[in-house]
Amino acid sequence: MAQINLLPWREERRQALKKQFLISLVLVLAFAGSLVLLADRLVNAQIDLQVARNTYLKENIKTLDKAVAEIRDLQKRRNQLLDRMRVIQELQGNRPIIVRVLDQLVRTVPDGVFYTTLNTKGATISLNGVAESNNRVSSLMRRLDASDWLANPSLDIVSAAPKFGDQANTFELKVKVQAPKKEQDAQEG
């Protein structure tokens, strides 16, 4: 006799396919979850690595900033020292000039002229004094102009001074200090 299977084979097949689908779905979800977890760990590891790099760079930048500040301070002190050395060298170089200028001022004073004050500002000397007459002041200016170390005398004020004599005058004049050509060449050379 023929055997007929009346079992619901379609239902079993559906259950088997459904079970296979659910197993596949669970495996795909597990695989996707593990991929997301792995990607999260990789990204977190890269972030941690970058944070460590940034921290290292910040520490080195602080160290370099301190070094740069020290270098700037040293350069500032170096420039100050160079300025001091330059001033000292100028003073050393000008020392004989001052002596010669004062010597010239003494040599150019004619009889009957007296200095009361002498002020210097840069290369200009301001002289105040008393002269017995206007001729003595003129003589003083001619002598100053003829001097090798002094140039361009300019008379600012002349006024009568009766307490020093009948024709006595007080005067104020300015004269510029100028080294002779020979001395300038020697200093430059």
Nearest CA to 180 out of 92, 90, 86, 104 is that of 104
- Phi first, then psi: give them for residue 147, nearest 5 degrees: -70, 145
pLDDT of residue 49: 97
Q: Is the dihedral of CA 59, 62, 68, 74 positive or negative?
A: negative
Residues 150, 176 contacting (CB under 8 angstroms): yes
| Entry pTM | 0.50
Question: Has domain 110-188 been given CATH number 1.10.287.130?
Answer: no
Task: Provide the token pair at 12.
Answer: 């079993």
Asked if 99 contacts 139 with a C-beta cutoff of 8 angstroms, the reply is no
138 contact partners, CB below 8 Å, separation of at least 6: none
Residues of the chain scoring pLDDT < 70: 1, 5-7, 94, 181-189
Best CA proximity match to 125, nearest among 92, 88, 151: 151
